Structure 1
Amino acid sequence: MPAPETDPASRAPLGRGTVRPLLICPDPVLRRICEPAGYLGPDALRALAADLLATLLAAGGLAISAPQIGVPRRLVLLLEAGEEGPLVLCDPELLAVRGAPVARAEQCLCWPGGEAAPVRVEDVSIGWYDAAGIHCRRDMAGAQARLVQQQIDILGGRFIGGF
């Protein structure tokens, strides 16, 4: 059975955000375990998500999390091919991992020119809250699964650069 879709409010336009500077490895904020984002409230969450989107688009990436712009909160933004807008993940968590772990080359916006090959699974189920506070769940595979795992690692103070 397919996972339920996110609440439409989580895909609503985020408004115009501000491009913020990306933290560069080995900034200590990237090593902090992030605080929950849900305590920020809907207006602050939407403003932070808008800044994440503006910064991500300016950097030309596919995913970004709040600590990468200096905010140690558990908020991730993913661009999805063919979707109306970005996917905003508030307090995401891995619910299940499936398949054999595979090492693949990855890059990160906060490690310009750097590359690592962390071991990750290629099929996951994740849970998160949308901007309206509704719990969502989705299965992800391939590159999207690896991206979300990378971002969740950053939220936990683990960075692929190994600094």
Structure 2
Amino acid sequence: MILPIVAYGDPVLRKKCEPIGEDYPQLKELIANMWETMYAANGVGLAAPQIGRDIRIFLVDTEPFADDPDLDDAEREQLKGFQQVFINAEILEETGDSWSFNEGCLSIPDVREDVSRKPELTIRFLDEEFQEHTLTFDGLLARVIQHEYDHIEGVLFTDHISTLKKRLLKNRLSNISKGKISVDYKMRFPAMKRKR
């Protein structure tokens, strides 16, 4: 089932999310709905707060980036077919010299900004079978994971940009929360009484 994506301005996007256990109600169904919602919106990642749940779960599928001609063969291979559910994730370390990349977010449609992040991370998480993993990722794959991880920490990519850029975006962000934007996927706007 395709769920509405929560728009900028909703308090759930600012909550530090709670860990979940294997007994979380209808978890398999929730994960299936999150995949369906993400694909319907042409996203490469989706976190639970973006569908109104303040729980520590996000998922990533970087396949759409695998065709980028600017990437080297090794990075394209890493992105190709990478599909993962992250439950109760914790970033253990981020290393390397920060680099900028133009990011966007399904909860903040039509806004893209350069965000600086470290190129490598080590993360501990549970998969959908509640098996624990500690893995290291780098490059664009690490960035997608960092972006989604931010969501479960109550952080948005716009928090990483300069104060000046935030001021310049203020009206656009306000319009997003009011639903004054055209999107081709289902959204829920905090400043509107009805769902769209």
What TM-score range do you get, normalising by the shorter chain?
0.7 to 0.9
Structure 1 counterpart of 2:158: 161
Residues 1:53 and 2:43 aligned together: no
Residues 1:122 and 2:119 aligned together: yes
TM-score of the superposed pair, with normalisation by structure 1: 0.81
Return 5+ residue gaps in structure 2 as ranges.
64-79, 160-172, 174-196
**Deviation of the 1:104 alpha carbon:** 2.1
| Corresponding residue SS for 2:157 | coil
Structure 1 counterpart of 2:71: none
Q: Partners of 2:31 and 2:83 in 1: how far apart?
A: 9
| Corresponding residue SS for 2:9 | coil
Q: Please, what is the CA RMSD of the aligned residues?
A: 1.8
Residues 1:143 and 2:140 aligned together: yes
**Deviation of the 1:148 alpha carbon:** 0.6
Structure 2 counterpart of 1:78: 60
| Corresponding residue SS for 1:124 | strand
**Deviation of the 1:46 alpha carbon:** 1.6
Structure 1 counterpart of 2:96: 99
**Deviation of the 1:138 alpha carbon:** 1.7
- Tell me which protein shows more helix as a share of its residues: 2
Residues 22-56 of structure 1: per-residue CA shift (max 9 Å, x gap): 0110111101111113x252662222111110000
* 8 Å Cα contact 1:75/1:89 also seen in 2: yes
Percentage of pairs with the same residue: 28
Q: Structure 1 stretches (4+) deviating beyond 3 angstroms? A: none
**Deviation of the 1:103 alpha carbon:** 2.6
**Deviation of the 1:125 alpha carbon:** 1.3
Return 5+ residue gaps in structure 1 as ranges.
1-17
